[in-house]
Structure 1
Amino acid sequence: MNVENPELQAEPTDVANNKGMAILAYILFLIPLLAAKQSRFAMYHANQGLILFLALVAVNIVSTIVPVIGWLLIGPLANLGLFILAILGILNAAGGRCKPLPLIGSFRIIKH
């Protein structure tokens, strides 16, 4: 296993057993949060998925409030960027890596 985050030392068996939950964390972070509490690997990716979700909510609130520029420029570009971050997170989880997402991955809400 290739661990990119020095804080997280997930076991190879943990990665193998919870890779699906880690991938799912970028689509529905709540499911791995409830179903794989014992997995450090799944919890790491659930944290990344939660931060991605919160960034998505914040971006959409701001782009809705700011007239015209927010609707036509900020919202679409920011949502595209967050979609790309979700793809990167899914690829990291599928590859068994604990690599933080660019820009937002350094935040930690869920203890893993």
Structure 2
Amino acid sequence: MDSTDIQSNKGMAIVGYILFFIPLILAKDSKFAWYHANQGLTLLVVAVILNVVLSIIPFIGFLLLPLVNLAIFIFAILGIVAAAQGQVKPLPIIGNYTLLK
């Protein structure tokens, strides 16, 4: 990724963890913003799947649900910090998956 792309699209990359589709619309040509939008989308998909699955499991699911949501929140913070620092750093565990090309 080139440094001018990173410097001019840090804000869009940060927004990618909150609303992943905004960088896809407003920063179409930025590989940096798309990378972080992909990370945000992957995090969202994992969060939805884990919340649904753990909500179905009677007792253990309800005990694990707050811990999983805390981990997802921490992953989002890690992604936002990496985007703000201009880093292309995958999220732990789920960061190597690509949903957007």
- 1:53-99 per-position Cα deviation (integer Å, ceiling 9, x unaligned): 0011011101110112111x221111111110000000000000000
TM, length-normalised to structure 2: 0.97
How far apart are the structure 2 equivalents of 1:77 and 1:63?
11
TM, length-normalised to structure 1: 0.88
- 1:24-75 per-position Cα deviation (integer Å, ceiling 9, x unaligned): 001110111111110000000000000000011011101110112111x221
Runs in 1 of length 4+ with deviation above 6 angstroms? none
Q: Could you list the runs of 5+ residues in structure 1 that have no partner in the other structure?
A: 1-9
Q: Higher helix fraction: Structure 1 or Structure 2?
A: 2
Count residues with an aligned counterpart. 101
Q: Which amino acid aligns with 2:89?
A: K
2:79 counterpart residue number: 89
Q: In angstroms, what is the RMSD of aligned CA positions? A: 0.7
Q: Could you list the runs of 5+ residues in structure 2 that have no partner in the other structure?
A: none
- Find the partner of 1:32 among 23, 26, 29: 23
Q: Which amino acid aligns with 1:41?
A: F
